[in-house]
Every structure is written in C-alpha cells, then in structure tokens.
Chains A and B, each alone.
Chain A
Amino acid sequence: MSAVSSAHLAIDALLEYWLRETDASTTDAVDEHLMRCEACGRVLDGLVALGDGVRAVFRAGAVAAVTSQAFIRRLSDAGLRVREHRLAHNGSVDCTVAPDDDVLVARIEAPLAGVERLDAVAQLSNEPGVEHRLEDVPFDAGTGELVYIPALAGVRDLPAHDMQLTLLAVQGGETREVGRYLFHHRPWPGH
C-alpha cells in the first residue's frame, strides 16, 4: 500500500496492516486513519474476530488443512501435542489418535518435482464406493512430501478402518498417479 487516503481503507490494506506486511510509514498512516475512522476500525475488528475463529476451530480439530513442516514445528513449539504419522512413498502406516493429542499429522513422501497440480483421492473401507477428492492441494515440491492435518475431532469418532490415499498429478486434462498409500486406523484402546 503506497498511501492511505482519507477514504475508507480496502480490506486487503487492513489485513496487510494487521499481519505486519506494511512498511513503517504505511503503518503510521493506517494508525492515524483508524484513530479517526470507526467504520474501518470495525472492519478490522471483524477481520481479527474471523482470524480468532479460524484459530479456534483449527485448534479444536474441526478443520482439515494441507500445511508444511515449518507450520507443524510452530504448533509443537507452542506446546501442542502433535502425533505424526510418516509414510514413505507408496507406504502404509498403522495410525490412531490418543485422547490427549491436539493435532494429527500425516507426512506423505511423494516425488512431486515437475507436478503442477496435485489432487488426493481417499477411499475408506467402511464407505465402499465413496471417493473423497481433494482438488489442487498446495505443496512445496522441494520438500518431497505432503503435510496433511485431518480434522482431529472427526477422526476420533471413526471406527477401525483402512483408508487408501492416492495422489494424482493433473496436467492438461490428464492424470498420473504419483503415489498410493494405506492408513490402517484403529481407535485408541477403550475409546
């Protein structure tokens, strides 16, 4: 943002200010604007509340997301109990979730170099004939892995089952299998 006019601020400008993406002079200008403009202040309040909501539902295990190793490290550093399941390329894993786990992570190795778009298709043994497709998941090809955090609250309630996950590279309307993985899920004993 190069300047802050006396008109209302765009929401992107407010978000950049909140996330400390603005330079010092722009930050000062937004500070001044917010001191006189209650309407923009309330928009910022709404953004902050939305951010709080996203944080709260993620911490409650209510949403799934593809993330990164660095993000997982930040969760651990913040004191969250992280249970990681690592899968080699085309590998399988026995997995579960403990009552005191805060975050469940699947770290899935895959040859991602040259892949432009990646889809993931999950099939569960207790839902025959049903496919769950995640389209265009983000990934850093340089790391050679996909870091997926499922919605832990939903996983806790699942009975024993197997899940097959297939990664597909999509390019020019054609798909190519990148890897196939098997998760053997068992509920925590007694749950």
Chain B
Amino acid sequence: METLDASAAHGPEVDMARRIAASGAAGAQDAEAGLYRLLAPRARRYGLRHLRDPHAAADLMQHVMALTIEQLRSGRLREPERVLSFVLGACRLTVMEQLRGERRRDALLQRYGDDLPLADLHVAPRLDHQRVADCLERLPERERSVLVMTFYDDQPSDAVGGQLGLSAGNVRVIRHRGLDRLRRCVDPQRRAS
C-alpha cells in the first residue's frame, strides 16, 4: 500500500505546510486557514469514528490542528511534506491520551485555540428527516429492520443477525441492498444518476 507521505508528497496540504514552516513565527494566515480547511474535517472524522462523540471529535480536531500549526510555525515539524502523517499520528495519540483521561489537550487549546481559523469547514450534510422517514417506509421489511437496528446504535452485522435469526453475511447483503435503495431515495442526484 502506498504510504501516507508518499501519496501526498506534492498535495496542497504539503504546499501549505511548507509555506507555514517557511514563514516561521510571523505566520502565513492564508496557508494556515487553507490547511485547517483541508485537514480539520479529516481529524474530526477520525475523532467521530474512534471516540463516537461529536463534541469529543470537535475537541480532538481543534487540538490536533492547533498542535500541527504550532509545530509548523516553530519549525519542530522539520519535514512539512510529512504533515499528513503528523496529523494522523497526533489524532491517534490524542485518542489514546483521551481514553487515558489525560488533559494536555486542554492546555494546548487554551494556548492556541483562539488562533485557529474556523470558517468554511466542510460539515456533514443534514438530511430532510421527513424524506428519510418516507424512504425508510418504502423499503422491504427486512431491509428496514436491518437498517434501523444497525444505525440506531451502530450495531455490527453479527449483533443484528443474532437478534433476527440471520447470519452476519446475510445481514451484510440485506444492509447493502437497503442502504443502496435508501441513498438513492434520499439523495435526488443519486436517484437521477
């Protein structure tokens, strides 16, 4: 598999990281804002997946981006082309620290949080819930049951299957079909295509 650094060596993240590093303590506000726009949503996704809490994920995102920009400004991140590896590593360490109950991130946020650009972040789409309900009602019974039981509290296929007398593989097949139908119904663009 291609490594994170090799795949992104010439990406926009690296260009911005290099500009931030080159500007030193003076800062390069547009590059910092650009880097934040690109990488903050990715750090938030990591937090959502591993912490399962939107507020904790937002905290992680702020902490990791503050740390990344601070490390670039100060020159401690000596290879700006490795910025993606640095962000992922910081995400992993922060989650581990958070799970251990450590509070170092709070101190960093207090130091650098006010400097972080917050505008123009991509956020997950918010769906029309009436449409989601209508589309769910149109699904075959098995697909609706599997999707409700899966998504209500993010249950894996073996847990859902064990409750409905189905194998995990069967649940995955039903889930795949139901999800495909639901996405096409909820998203008009997907339906049109």
Contact = CB atoms under 8 A, between A and B. Distances in A.
Interface of A: 3-6, 11-12, 15, 17-21, 29, 31-32, 34-36, 38, 41-42, 44-58, 60, 62-71, 74, 78, 134-142, 151
Interface in B146-193: 146-157, 162-166, 172, 175-176, 179, 182-183, 186-187
A68 B155 CA distance: 13
Contact of A63 (B7, B133, B187): B133
A140 B157 contact: no
Contact of B133 (A41, A52, A62): A62
Given A35-B88, A41-B42, A53-B127, A139 B165 contact: yes
A35 B91 CA distance: 10
Interface string B73-103: 0000000000010011001100000000000
Contacts of A60: 129, 133
B4 A138 contact: no
Given A50-B127, A53-B129, A11 B165 contact: no
Contacts of A42: 122
A181 B135 CA distance: 29
A138 B49 contact: no
Contacts of A38: 38, 41-42
18 contacts: A5-B1, A12-B172, A12-B176, A17-B49, A19-B154, A21-B156, A31-B49, A34-B46, A35-B87, A38-B41, A45-B123, A48-B48, A54-B148, A63-B136, A74-B153, A136-B142, A140-B165, A151-B137
Nearest to A119: B141
Interface residues of B, number: 60
B124 A71 contact: no
A57 B150 contact: no
A156 to B, nearest CB: 15
8 smallest CB-CB distances across A and B, nearest first, come from A140-B165, A68-B163, A51-B151, A53-B132, A62-B133, A45-B124, A54-B151, A57-B133
Interface in B90-129: 91-92, 122-127, 129
B179 A49 contact: no
Interface in B31-76: 38, 41-42, 45-46, 48-49
A44 B45 contact: yes
